[in-house]
Structure formats: C-alpha cells, structure tokens
Amino acid sequence: MIRTIRAELYRLSKSKGMLIFFLLIIAIFALTVVYRNDGGISLGAPLDYTGNIKVDIRQVGRNFNFYFLMIIPVFCVIVSEFNEKTWKNTISSSTSRARFYIHKFVFTLGFSIIVFLAANALFYLANRLVNGSEYSSSFGDFMKALGNQVPLMTALVSLFIFLSFLFRKGALFNAVTIVTPILYTTVSLILFEIEKTNKFAAKWLLEYEISTMFSKLALGCSNDYRNAAFLICLGVTVCSFVLGYLSFTKREI
C-alpha cells in the first residue's frame, strides 16, 4: 500500500488535471474570502438556514462544489489507468486484481477526503486571517459542520470509484457522474408532479438530494435527518465498494 501511495502521489504531481483541481479549489474559496460572502462559485440548491451563521460555515454548506471537483482525482488515479490501458502493467507483474482494486480504492478515497478536509481547513485559516472573527466561527464549530459532511463525501467518492471500475471509459464515466445530480433532481421533481396526494417519495428524494444534504449537514438539521443521511451514506459506501470489487475482479476485461 505504501508503494501505491508513493507511486500515485508521484504520478499526480505530474498531472495537469490535478493542477486544475487545486486551482479550482483555491478560486472557490478565494472568492468567498475576498467578497466576505459565500457562494462566489456555487452549484446546487440555495442554502436554507435560520439565524446568524457566519460566512465560513455558510461556505461549507456550499461544499456541493466538491461533488464535481472530486471527479478529477478519481479520473486521474483510476480512469486514466483504463484509458491508457496501463492497469495491465501492474496486474501482470506486481499485484493481483483484488489488491489492485483495494489499493486504488483506499488511496483515492483517502486522498480525496484528506484534500477535502485540508482545503476547507486552509480556507478557514485564510478567512480567519484576512477577515477576522467577525466573519469566522470558532474552529470547533467549523470542524463540526465540516465533519458532518465527511460520510457524504466518502459515499460520493466511493460511488465514483465504483463507476470508474464499472465503465472503464473516460467519456462514459464523466458523462454519468456529471449528469447524475441533474437526473436525480429531474426525476424527483417529475415524481413530485405525478404524486397527487402525499408526495412522500418525491419529498424524501428531494430531502436527501446531494446538495441539500451538503447544506443541511453543515448548517444544522434534526438528529433524525442526520442519522438517516449517515445511514444512506454508509449504505452507498459499502455497496459501491462491494460492487466495484465484483465488477473488476469477476468480469472479463
């Protein structure tokens, strides 16, 4: 595993995709710090909150941006191996398919979560230094809001890893991952219109839509909502891991 980490970090250090990835993160957070307002670059549903929440935690509520950003490391680490067919080099001479999958999964997930936490923590520090306590919360409150999003981020990256091993083609992987949130919202809204009476399924789908979960988990929600969200994330993470493993180790490539 240590060898995989060293090798992948070496390769990522040479990747233009990763340079773009870090520049985008800096741009997103820099706009918030400079304008002292969240959402300079934002995607997903508008924030829904009450009370005086400071700009740093409001920006954490907009971390749905990371849904799209995290496509990049998964692409660079895994999809590129399939695009360039280099996975054969590793499997034929230094490891088994199962180990290849597990090493890639652990590295990509670990790298993504560390970048997610580090980028947000650096944003907190920059905002604190530039804008002072008037625009920043306590570090504890900030990390609590951010920490609530970690299971969701884990589930999403895990899902991306599964899709990368399932499709093994860059164009298909990109298309599906980018379109999924749009498709999800469209289906939920169509269902909302179709369900004339209690609209239970549609409401449930909209409540647990990805950008809504990002904002609610950061800005505050009921314990029931948090527990349900964590349970969904756990389910997605476990299922993605298992399905990805099976699709790579059992299928003929």
Partner 1 sequence: MRDIILRTTQLTKHYKSFSALENVSMTASQGDIYGLVGKNGAGKTTFMKLITGLTEPTAGEYEIFGKTGFAANAERNRIGCLIEEPAFFGNLTAKQNLRYYCELKGITDRGQIGRVLELVHLTDAADRKFKAFSLGMKQRLGIAFALLDRPDLVVLDEPINGLDPIAISEMRDTLRKLNRELGITMIISSHILTELYAIANKFLFIDNGKVLREVTKEELDKECSRCIILKTDDTRQAAAVLESKTGISEYAVINSTEIRIYETKVKSCDINRQLVLQDVTVHAIYESGASLEDYFKQLVGEGTK
> CB 2 → partner 1: shortest distance, Å?
9
> CB 117 → partner 1: shortest distance, Å?
25
Question: With respect to partner 1, which residue has the nearer C-beta, 16 or 196?
Answer: 16
Residue ranges binding partner 1 (CB under 8 A): 3-4, 6-7, 10-11, 14-16, 80, 84-86, 88-97, 252-253
> CB 190 → partner 1: shortest distance, Å?
39
Question: With respect to partner 1, which residue has the nearer C-beta, 80 or 174?
Answer: 80
Question: With respect to partner 1, which residue has the nearer C-beta, 77 or 163?
Answer: 77
Task: Tally the residues of the chain.
Answer: 253
- What is the Cα gyration radius of the chain? 19
> CB 105 → partner 1: shortest distance, Å?
16
The one-letter amino acid at 205: L
Q: Name the token pair of 130.
A: 């530039």
Alpha helices in the chain (DSSP H): 2-13, 16-35, 55-61, 65-69, 71-74, 80-83, 87-93, 97-131, 139-167, 170-194, 200-207, 210-219, 223-249
> CB 101 → partner 1: shortest distance, Å?
14
Task: For residues 242 and 236, give the distance between their C-alpha atoms in angstroms, rounded to a whole number.
Answer: 10
Question: With respect to partner 1, which residue has the nearer C-beta, 103 or 216?
Answer: 103
52 vs 55, 57, 58, 103, CA distance in Å?
A: 9, 10, 10, 43
Question: With respect to partner 1, which residue has the nearer C-beta, 90 or 108?
Answer: 90
